[in-house]
Chain A
Amino acid sequence: MHPAFSVIFLTTLIGAAQGLFLAMVAVQFHVGVNGFAAPEAVGFYAVGSVISLALLGAGLLASFFHLGHPERAWRAAAQWRTSWLSREVIVLPAFMGMVFLYGVAHWQGMPTLLPALAGVVLAFALFVCTGMIYACLRFLREWHSPLTVLNYTLLGSASGFTLATAFATFSAPHAVRFLGGWAVALTAAAFIGRLASLIRNARLKPKSTLQTAIGIKHPKIVQKTQGFMGGAFNTREFFHGKPVATLRAIKWFFLVASFFVPLLLLGFGGDGAAIFLILAFVIQYAGLLAERWFFFAQANHPQNLYYQSIA
């Protein structure tokens, strides 16, 4: 597939925002529901909610660049019975609303248990929706796996907890160790999950072949022409057009930048050295951009069988 930057930014930004929200709720339950004293609570939870909302808003904005008719985007909520994309379109604003309520509740000193729990449910629902958009496409076999949903959840959570750890050095220093531990655990878990999907995808054998594509049972079939000499949607949307070496380089980059470097920096910054933790998040986020690019580029669409030769 041709990786679209709109979708890469959408999924990575909202993933980090969901993770950050989950991290805030985790801290809240860790220190008790009434947790910190008011000024600190406002600093951590309310400003944290603003950061989470900003990331969600940026992701939502990025998603509009994916649409040919963004002014009709509201229609996308219609088919929630059948379409995971439609479900995501509903859950994303619902989650944003809950993050907003959560932030306001902390800021105003109101009860926060309800928005916290509802927000957690919505955060996980959003991970499932985002992952299932890709996992439900059965003939894109690199995506058609429970690992896709698991990895969207783990990668988003890991980056969100890393961000929360860095943010906590300014707003809630005594939560840094707790959050840092979770960030390390989630980053390690995300590494295992992503490694599992890389191994799975490397062993995939294509189900569709040129033989099933045109229905001729002969071992040797060569396309002589795809029917046109210029470009078409079919030749643009479904091919990444990069050499194998580039793909391999991006794979190694994201493995190092999303997992190894953040794990090292989280280790160094465990006692609250902000610079290490900020760097950990920035590098991890850059790694996740590359991870998402690779996620799309690696998916091999069966329609490509029909577009192998110009003339």
Chain B
Amino acid sequence: MTQLALVIDLNVCVGCHACVTSCKEWNTSGEAGPMSDQNPYGADPSGTFFNRVQTYEVGEFPNTETVHFPKSCLHCEDPPCVPVCPTGASYKRKEDGIVLVDYDKCIACKYCSWACPYGARELDEKQQVMKKCTLCVDRIYDMSMPEADRKPACVKACPTSARLFGDVHDPESVVSVAIREQGGYPLMPEWGTQPSNHYLPRKKTRITLHPDELVRSDNPLKADGREPSTNGNGNGPTLEDASNW
């Protein structure tokens, strides 16, 4: 069974909102109708988005880290929003696990949004139907596109490749490998929703350098006895001098 999902690398995300705008651009232009905005240039703008980037500060000054956190529908394996839908408009596709809304059946009772702990669903105020991330279902299967473009718009837009897309049920897929090898985790695991989207944690990038490693042993200046040296007074042996014979 296929379960398509996103894996979002919090270690790489720079919070540029390119995924937000790219998502909105692609999905507002689709055949499902626009993602409407209310009062877009007025005092209190509001609108429909499938994806948002939030920013958190972790730790206490001065030891703080800024974490940018993109949030969209997690396409849960056990989506609580689906069984509560009274009309069947909300459904999870068997073939690829994408959770979708049938805009022609939705009565906008908003019950599914109450049933989603992540706040992934938004009511389109103009169209009066519930909307959410579709994993660009109208894009990833579009055979008229080059294969490299058959990815969600947010993934294509990310300048730092913080967003990976693939089948989390295939153990060799790029997303499964990333989850397995980089400690990918789901959000709010306490509710048993089994989100398909995973997040890769922040990590410290450290490297240990020996001063020797910064110096070329075959530096011609060194042969002249001028520059540089590693022992501070300019004429000590380097690690390579000792081992390279």
Contact = CB atoms under 8 A, between A and B. Distances in A.
Interface of A: 1, 66-70, 72-73, 75-79, 82-86, 89, 133, 136-140, 207-208, 210, 212-216, 218, 220-234, 237-238, 301-304, 306-307
A224 B86 contact: no
Interface string B85-112: 1111100000000000000011111110
A216 B56 contact: yes
B77 interface: no
Contacts of B187: 212-215
20 contacts: A68-B108, A76-B109, A137-B84, A139-B80, A139-B191, A207-B190, A208-B190, A214-B187, A215-B185, A216-B56, A216-B58, A220-B59, A223-B57, A224-B56, A224-B66, A233-B121, A233-B125, A234-B119, A303-B117, A306-B54
B45 interface: yes
B49 A232 contact: yes
B62 interface: no
B55 interface: yes
B57 A222 contact: yes
A214 B110 contact: no
Given A137-B114, A225-B55, A69 B83 contact: no
Nearest to A238: B119
Contacts of B84: 82-85, 136-137
Contacts of B114: 1, 137, 140, 301
Nearest to A306: B119
B53 A68 contact: no
Contacts of A212: 187-190
Name the residue among B52, B53, B114, B186 with the largest chain A CB count within 10 angstroms: B114
Nearest to A70: B107
Nearest to B187: A215
Name the residue among A77, A78, A207, A214 with the largest chain B CB count within 10 angstroms: A214
Given A79-B86, A79-B88, A208-B117, A234 B59 contact: no
A84 B201 CA distance: 38
A73 B111 CA distance: 14
B6 to A, nearest CB: 14
Contacts of B160: none
Contacts of A222: 56-57
B146 to A, nearest CB: 31
Interface residues of B, number: 61
B107 A83 contact: no
B189 to A, nearest CB: 7
A137 B201 CA distance: 29
A213 B188 contact: yes
B202 interface: yes
A83 B83 contact: yes
Contacts of B196: none
A221 B187 CA distance: 15
A1 to B, nearest CB: 7
Given A214-B187, A306-B54, A85 B86 contact: yes
A279 B202 CA distance: 63
Nearest to A89: B86
A228 B52 contact: yes
Given A225-B55, A227-B52, A232-B46, A303 B119 contact: yes
B122 interface: yes
Nearest to A139: B117
B56 A221 contact: yes
A214 B69 contact: yes
Nearest to B185: A215
Given A72-B105, A215-B187, A227-B53, A303 B118 contact: yes
B174 interface: no
A230 B44 contact: yes
Interface string B119-157: 101110100110000000000000000000000000000
A173 B111 CA distance: 44
Given A78-B87, A231-B46, A69 B106 contact: yes
Nearest to B83: A82
Given A1-B114, A75-B89, A82-B83, 5 more contacts: A83-B83, A208-B190, A213-B187, A303-B117, A304-B119
User: Which 3 A-B pairs give the minimum distances between C-beta atoms?
Assistant: A68-B108, A303-B119, A68-B128
Contacts of A307: 119
Nearest to A228: B52
Contacts of B202: 216
Contacts of A140: 114
B115 to A, nearest CB: 6
Contacts of A79: 83, 85-88
A301 B88 CA distance: 23
Contacts of A224: 55-57, 66
B56 A76 contact: no
B27 interface: no
Contacts of A233: 48, 113, 121-123, 125
Nearest to B48: A233
A302 B188 contact: yes
Contacts of A72: 87, 105-107
A218 B58 CA distance: 7
